[in-house]
Amino acid sequence: MNNYDVVVIGAGPGGYISAIRCAQLGFSTACVDNGMGVDNKPALGGTCLNTGCIPSKALLDSSHHYAFISKQAADHGINVSGVKLDIHKMINRKNRIVQKLTRGIAGLFKKNKVDWLQGQGTLLGNDKVKVTPAGEEAGEEYTVSARHIIIATGSIPARFSFAAVDQNRIVDSTGALVFKEVPKRLGVIGAGVIGLELGSVWSRMGSKVTILEALDDFLAPVDRQIAAASEKLLARQGLDIRLGARVTGTGVNSREVGVSFEQGGSKQQLNFDKLIVAVGRSPNIAGLGAEEAGLELNENGSIKVDEYCATNLPNVHAIGDVVRGPMLAHKAAEEGVMVAERLAGQKSEINLDLVPWVIYTWPEIAWVGKTEAELEEAGVSFRAGVFPFAASGRALAAGDSDGMVKILSDADTDQVLGVHVLGPNASELVAEAVLAMEFDGTSEDIARTIHAHPTLAEAMHEAALANDGRALHI
Ligand code: FAD
Ligand code: NAD
């Protein structure tokens, strides 16, 4: 039996980053993973690299270029004719990017001397992991021992009996990344992050997309002003988003899929060529042997951990999507680093209140910290500064001037409490806000920081000035 200082189960962004950091800190480290790549062979990287963040962004970027060439290039005086989509090539490009990155992790494992154990990991108490290799050429199962175990088994699409995924007519996010042709009529259940991102991809490529969302509010967790503006822009792009529409059943025949839903007290039905089910993700503990090992779980099936990701079992930590908190790759990765460093005796911590969110629609939506509604509910008095991209020279030059930056700060101390961006490259702009908030910065700090001209980041500067009623360009 091989003995390791640390065995990590799962090689998504939580697990692979944690394994590399453990090895950097001098621990002998192995990472057990049962993930398969786009070629159906073992691949590192988990959901994020294989079927999540990276492939979805590759298709978002490709479809964005197509939409630009088809609809906006002429505004720039660029007339293009004969524009044609080659879906096969687009999907292959996405696959090549995924493989480059997943193979890159294998290279990083080699460089850092992390052993990649291919197969399913099952806990045997708190110091042993059984590895069961999968596939035709898989060997016998075996056991490794560990002084520390880090569980990073991630999440899987939530399943509901009203929409059984067959990856043909009814697909989850993984199936929606490999359509062979553009569906004429595409239905989506759930106007959450996945529904809006993948709905945008196929809408830009020509699908008539209808999104059915059970809640009455569009993007309920997002700041109301930002959500309202985004809803209008997405409708203008052709997305038919029906709020208060709770899907209750589906039926498939050889030609189409019928979706039944309730809206405003009436029962309705729509038919589509394809249906994407995007109704959330569930923590993944399948095959982990969590209950047999005595691991304490939360009601939703996630593994119970404290602020440092320690479980109830001594020497066992859990990180990423399989524990509480936002299901985001960067949150998983930072938890992985924190656990590795704490095992090495360092005092690392992470602040879950400052995890940035991004929704990669166009314009993008990004935020960190509290929304206006959350501050109101908590009885905090605050000031808001808003600056529209319509007044940004850089945004106008780019032809991308929809949206705004909004900075919320404490009315007494001016400390920044929340920053919300709807606009071009919001995903990049929010980083400045996270940094400011990590240092307990004020909106005055952002207002006194020199921002290059002409840049989109000047909108952040102006929103900080607006927070004190002294914006210069509105
Ligand atoms: P995962 O990435 O889920 O990795 C878990 C790994 O563990 C997998 O390889 C799995 O096969 C393996 N595993 C599970 N059980 C076992 C076992 N018993 N033994 C061995 N191996 C096991 N997040 C963002 O931050 N930005 C984005 O843009 C973004 N886009 C997304 C787009 C889509 C379509 C989806 C579905 C998700 C997206 N996410 C995004 C979410 C992101 O993918 C997850 O938050 C992230 O992958 C979680 O990382 P993780 O390490 O916790 O788990
Ligand atoms: P989500 O929680 O964001 O959205 C699911 C939506 O489905 C909700 O709005 C919910 O009200 C709706 N819904 C549920 N049941 C319904 C029904 N019967 N009828 C109609 N609507 C219904 O979940 P998701 O979009 O599946 O994404 C899962 C998670 O994956 C995200 O929360 C996020 O953590 C992660 N993710 C992140 C990114 C990113 O960071 N850009 C991208 C994709 C996924």
- The string of pLDDT tens digits covering residues 262-310 is 999 999 999 999 999 999 999 999 999 999 999 999 999 999 999 999 9
Q: Residue 396 is encoded by which pair of tokens?
A: 């106008």
pLDDT at 136: 64
Place 135 in a pLDDT band, splitting at 50, 70 and 90. low
pLDDT at 346: 98
Mean pLDDT of 442-449: 98
Residue 163 contacts residue 258 (beta carbons within 8 Å): no
Q: Rounded distance, CA 336 to CA 382, Å?
A: 34
Beta-strand ranges (E) seen in 264-301 are: 266-272, 274-277, 281-283
Indicate the residue type of 422.
L
Which residues does ligand 2 sit against, CB inside 6 Å? 189-195, 197, 212-215, 246-247, 278-281, 326-328, 358-360
SS3 assignment for 233-268: HHHHCCCEEECCEEEEEEEECCCCEEEEEEECCEEE
pLDDT exceeds cutoff 70 at 100: yes
pTM of the model: 0.98
Residue closest by Cα to atom 3 of ligand 1: 154
pLDDT exceeds cutoff 90 at 139: no
Residue 154 CA to ligand 1 center (angstroms) comes to 5
Q: Which ligand lies nearest the alpha carbon of 282?
A: 2
Q: Residue 122 is encoded by which pair of tokens?
A: 């099952």
Catalytic, 453? Answer yes
Residue 272 contacts residue 187 (beta carbons within 8 Å): yes
Kindly report the average pLDDT of the chain as a whole number: 97
pLDDT at 148: 98
Instruction: Please work out, in degrees rounded to the nearest 5, the angle formed at the alpha carbon of residue 325 by the alpha carbons of 321 and 328.
Output: 50
pLDDT exceeds cutoff 80 at 1: no
Residue closest by Cα to atom 2 of ligand 2: 280
pLDDT exceeds cutoff 70 at 137: no
> What is the per-residue pLDDT across 388-433, written as a single tens digit (0 to 9) for each?
999 999 999 999 999 999 999 999 999 999 999 999 999 999 999 9
Instruction: Tokens 């806990």: give the residue.
Output: 123
Percent of the chain with pLDDT over 70: 99
Place 383 in a pLDDT band, splitting at 50, 70 and 90. very high
Separation of CA 58 from chain center: 14
Mean pLDDT of 157-170: 95
Q: Rounded distance, CA 127 to CA 419, Å?
A: 43
Q: Which of 219, 281, 321, 364 to mutate to test the pocket of ligand 2 (most atoms within 8 A of CB)?
A: 281
Q: Which ligand lies nearest the alpha carbon of 222?
A: 2
Q: Is 52 in the pocket of ligand 1 (CB under 6 A)?
A: yes
Q: Which of 57, 59, 194 to mutate to test the pocket of ligand 2 (most atoms within 8 A of CB)?
A: 194
Residue closest by Cα to atom 6 of ligand 2: 190
Of the candidates 65, 76, 88, 453, the residue annotated as catalytic is 453
Residue 194 CA to ligand 2 center (angstroms) comes to 6
Q: Which ligand lies nearest the alpha carbon of 189?
A: 2
Mean pLDDT of 430-445: 98
Residue 189 CA to ligand 2 center (angstroms) comes to 9
> What is the per-residue pLDDT across 5-32, written as a single tens digit (0 to 9) for each?
999 999 999 999 999 999 999 999 999 9
Instruction: Please work out, in degrees rounded to the nearest 5, the angle formed at the alpha carbon of residue 205 by the alpha carbons of 200 and 209.
Output: 50
Place 138 in a pLDDT band, splitting at 50, 70 and 90. confident
Residue closest by Cα to atom 35 of ligand 2: 327
